[in-house]
Amino acid sequence: MPTYEEEHGLNSTNNNTEGERPNRLTVQQALNNFINTPTDSRNNLSNSINNSINGINNVDFNLLNQMMNSMNTILVDKSNTNNGVSNEFIDRLERVNVKQLKNDDTCPICTNEYKDDSYPLVVELPCNSKHRFDLECIVPWLKINKTCPLCRIDVTIKKELPVLVDSEEEDEDWEMYG
Protein backbone atom coordinates (compact mmCIF):
# COMPACT_ATOMS: atom_id res chain seq x y z
CA MET A 1 0.00 0.00 0.00
CA PRO A 2 1.43 3.39 -0.88
CA THR A 3 2.30 5.57 2.08
CA TYR A 4 0.59 8.86 2.72
CA GLU A 5 3.67 10.74 1.55
CA GLU A 6 3.85 8.79 -1.69
CA GLU A 7 0.19 9.40 -2.45
CA HIS A 8 0.57 13.12 -2.00
CA GLY A 9 3.94 13.45 -3.59
CA LEU A 10 5.41 14.79 -0.37
CA ASN A 11 8.75 13.15 -0.89
CA SER A 12 9.47 15.15 -3.98
CA THR A 13 8.45 18.34 -2.19
CA ASN A 14 10.81 17.54 0.63
CA ASN A 15 13.67 16.93 -1.73
CA ASN A 16 13.03 20.21 -3.45
CA THR A 17 12.86 22.21 -0.28
CA GLU A 18 15.99 20.70 1.11
CA GLY A 19 17.78 22.01 -1.93
CA GLU A 20 16.41 25.47 -1.18
CA ARG A 21 19.05 28.21 -1.13
CA PRO A 22 21.79 25.98 -2.49
CA ASN A 23 24.11 28.94 -2.93
CA ARG A 24 24.20 29.82 0.73
CA LEU A 25 25.03 26.29 1.78
CA THR A 26 27.72 25.99 -0.79
CA VAL A 27 29.33 29.28 0.16
CA GLN A 28 29.20 28.33 3.80
CA GLN A 29 30.75 24.95 3.14
CA ALA A 30 33.43 26.55 1.06
CA LEU A 31 34.19 28.98 3.87
CA ASN A 32 34.35 26.21 6.42
CA ASN A 33 36.69 24.25 4.23
CA PHE A 34 38.86 27.31 3.80
CA ILE A 35 38.91 28.19 7.49
CA ASN A 36 39.70 24.63 8.47
CA THR A 37 42.47 24.29 5.92
CA PRO A 38 45.90 24.08 7.59
CA THR A 39 47.94 27.26 7.15
CA ASP A 40 50.63 25.38 5.21
CA SER A 41 48.37 24.42 2.40
CA ARG A 42 46.98 27.94 2.39
CA ASN A 43 50.52 29.21 1.90
CA ASN A 44 50.82 26.82 -1.00
CA LEU A 45 47.66 28.33 -2.35
CA SER A 46 49.19 31.75 -1.82
CA ASN A 47 52.26 30.70 -3.78
CA SER A 48 50.24 29.34 -6.61
CA ILE A 49 48.17 32.51 -6.72
CA ASN A 50 51.36 34.57 -6.76
CA ASN A 51 52.82 32.42 -9.46
CA SER A 52 49.81 32.43 -11.68
CA ILE A 53 48.59 36.00 -11.31
CA ASN A 54 50.93 38.90 -11.79
CA GLY A 55 50.05 41.84 -9.65
CA ILE A 56 48.73 39.94 -6.68
CA ASN A 57 51.68 39.94 -4.32
CA ASN A 58 51.91 39.38 -0.60
CA VAL A 59 48.34 38.35 -0.14
CA ASP A 60 47.68 39.08 3.51
CA PHE A 61 46.28 35.79 4.67
CA ASN A 62 45.64 36.96 8.19
CA LEU A 63 43.42 39.69 6.88
CA LEU A 64 41.83 37.33 4.40
CA ASN A 65 41.25 34.82 7.14
CA GLN A 66 39.61 37.47 9.33
CA MET A 67 37.37 38.47 6.48
CA MET A 68 36.44 34.86 5.81
CA ASN A 69 35.67 34.29 9.48
CA SER A 70 33.44 37.34 9.75
CA MET A 71 31.69 36.39 6.52
CA ASN A 72 31.10 32.95 7.94
CA THR A 73 29.63 34.48 11.12
CA ILE A 74 27.25 36.53 9.04
CA LEU A 75 26.21 33.49 7.02
CA VAL A 76 25.64 31.39 10.13
CA ASP A 77 23.65 34.25 11.67
CA LYS A 78 21.51 34.54 8.62
CA SER A 79 20.84 30.85 8.30
CA ASN A 80 19.83 30.73 11.96
CA THR A 81 17.35 33.57 11.73
CA ASN A 82 15.96 32.20 8.49
CA ASN A 83 15.35 28.76 9.90
CA GLY A 84 11.93 27.50 9.17
CA VAL A 85 9.69 25.22 11.18
CA SER A 86 10.31 21.57 12.01
CA ASN A 87 8.87 18.67 10.04
CA GLU A 88 6.79 17.80 13.11
CA PHE A 89 5.22 21.24 12.99
CA ILE A 90 4.27 20.72 9.36
CA ASP A 91 2.84 17.29 10.10
CA ARG A 92 0.70 18.76 12.87
CA LEU A 93 -0.83 21.55 10.75
CA GLU A 94 -4.60 21.62 10.85
CA ARG A 95 -6.17 20.08 7.72
CA VAL A 96 -9.12 21.90 6.22
CA ASN A 97 -12.07 19.74 5.32
CA VAL A 98 -12.94 19.99 1.61
CA LYS A 99 -16.56 20.67 2.56
CA GLN A 100 -15.44 23.94 4.15
CA LEU A 101 -13.91 25.16 0.90
CA LYS A 102 -15.93 27.40 -1.40
CA ASN A 103 -15.67 26.86 -5.12
CA ASP A 104 -13.78 30.08 -5.76
CA ASP A 105 -11.44 29.89 -2.75
CA THR A 106 -7.88 30.20 -3.96
CA CYS A 107 -4.50 29.49 -2.45
CA PRO A 108 -2.76 32.84 -1.83
CA ILE A 109 0.56 31.37 -2.93
CA CYS A 110 -0.15 29.61 -6.23
CA THR A 111 -3.42 31.55 -6.79
CA ASN A 112 -5.11 28.37 -8.08
CA GLU A 113 -8.58 27.46 -6.91
CA TYR A 114 -8.33 24.68 -4.34
CA LYS A 115 -11.11 22.81 -6.07
CA ASP A 116 -9.16 22.67 -9.35
CA ASP A 117 -7.66 19.67 -7.65
CA SER A 118 -10.20 16.92 -7.07
CA TYR A 119 -8.45 15.99 -3.82
CA PRO A 120 -7.16 19.29 -2.47
CA LEU A 121 -4.86 19.08 0.54
CA VAL A 122 -5.41 22.37 2.34
CA VAL A 123 -4.05 23.41 5.72
CA GLU A 124 -4.68 26.37 8.01
CA LEU A 125 -2.01 28.07 10.07
CA PRO A 126 -2.44 28.51 13.83
CA CYS A 127 -2.51 32.34 13.54
CA ASN A 128 -5.96 32.47 11.91
CA SER A 129 -8.37 29.82 10.67
CA LYS A 130 -8.84 31.90 7.49
CA HIS A 131 -5.12 31.73 6.69
CA ARG A 132 -5.31 28.68 4.47
CA PHE A 133 -2.90 27.36 1.86
CA ASP A 134 -2.28 24.33 -0.28
CA LEU A 135 -0.03 22.13 1.83
CA GLU A 136 2.22 21.80 -1.20
CA CYS A 137 2.59 25.61 -1.40
CA ILE A 138 3.06 26.47 2.27
CA VAL A 139 5.64 23.77 3.03
CA PRO A 140 8.50 25.26 0.97
CA TRP A 141 7.83 28.63 2.61
CA LEU A 142 7.68 27.29 6.17
CA LYS A 143 10.89 25.36 5.58
CA ILE A 144 12.73 28.68 5.31
CA ASN A 145 10.43 31.01 7.35
CA LYS A 146 8.44 30.79 10.53
CA THR A 147 5.94 33.46 9.49
CA CYS A 148 2.46 33.34 8.02
CA PRO A 149 2.52 34.79 4.48
CA LEU A 150 -0.73 36.66 5.15
CA CYS A 151 -0.09 38.28 8.57
CA ARG A 152 3.65 37.69 9.18
CA ILE A 153 2.94 36.31 12.66
CA ASP A 154 5.45 33.74 13.92
CA VAL A 155 3.40 30.57 13.51
CA THR A 156 5.45 28.62 16.04
CA ILE A 157 4.39 30.87 18.91
CA LYS A 158 1.52 29.23 20.74
CA LYS A 159 -1.69 31.10 20.21
CA GLU A 160 -2.59 32.92 23.42
CA LEU A 161 -6.16 32.83 24.49
CA PRO A 162 -7.63 36.31 24.58
CA VAL A 163 -7.42 37.50 28.17
CA LEU A 164 -10.66 38.88 29.45
CA VAL A 165 -10.05 42.34 30.84
CA ASP A 166 -11.00 42.51 34.47
CA SER A 167 -13.40 45.43 34.88
CA GLU A 168 -11.66 46.54 38.08
CA GLU A 169 -8.32 46.62 36.33
CA GLU A 170 -9.81 48.65 33.55
CA ASP A 171 -11.10 51.18 36.06
CA GLU A 172 -7.65 51.48 37.58
CA ASP A 173 -6.18 52.20 34.16
CA TRP A 174 -8.63 54.98 33.62
CA GLU A 175 -7.78 56.51 37.00
CA MET A 176 -4.22 56.91 35.86
CA TYR A 177 -5.38 59.30 33.17
CA GLY A 178 -8.13 60.86 35.25
Question: Of the ranges 44-52, 64-72, 134-142, 153-161, which one interacts with another protein (CB under 8 A)?
Answer: 134-142
The site map against another protein for 152-171 (x = CB under 8 A) is: x-------------------
CA gap 76, 125 in Å, rounded = 28
The DSSP letter of residue 114 is: G
CA gap 151, 149 in Å, rounded = 6
# binding residues, another protein (CB under 8 A):
14
CA gap 131, 107 in Å, rounded = 9
Angle subtended by helix axes 10-18 and 135-142, to nearest 10: 30
- Pick the closer one to another protein by CB: 56 or 157: 157
Subset of residues 42 to 61 that bind another protein, contact rule: CB under 8 A? none
Name which of 96, 95, 115 is nearest 105 in CA terms: 115
CA gap 130, 93 in Å, rounded = 13
- Pick the closer one to another protein by CB: 45 or 150: 150
Question: Of the ranges 2-10, 44-52, 90-98, 140-148, which one interacts with another protein (CB under 8 A)?
Answer: 140-148
Q: Which of 32, 65, 127, 140 binds another protein (CB under 8 A)?
A: 140
Q: How near is the Cβ of 141 to another protein at its closest, in Å?
A: 5
Question: Of the ranges 39-47, 88-96, 102-110, 155-163, which one interacts with another protein (CB under 8 A)?
Answer: 102-110
- Pick the closer one to another protein by CB: 75 or 109: 109
The site map against another protein for 112-131 (x = CB under 8 A) is: x-------------------
- Residues in CB range of 159: below 8 A, 6 or more apart: 126, 127
Which residue blocks in the chain are alpha helix, DSSP H?
Answer: 4-7, 10-18, 22-36, 39-52, 61-81, 87-91, 135-142, 167-177
Binding site for another protein (CB under 8 A): 20, 108-112, 137, 140-141, 144, 147, 149-150, 152
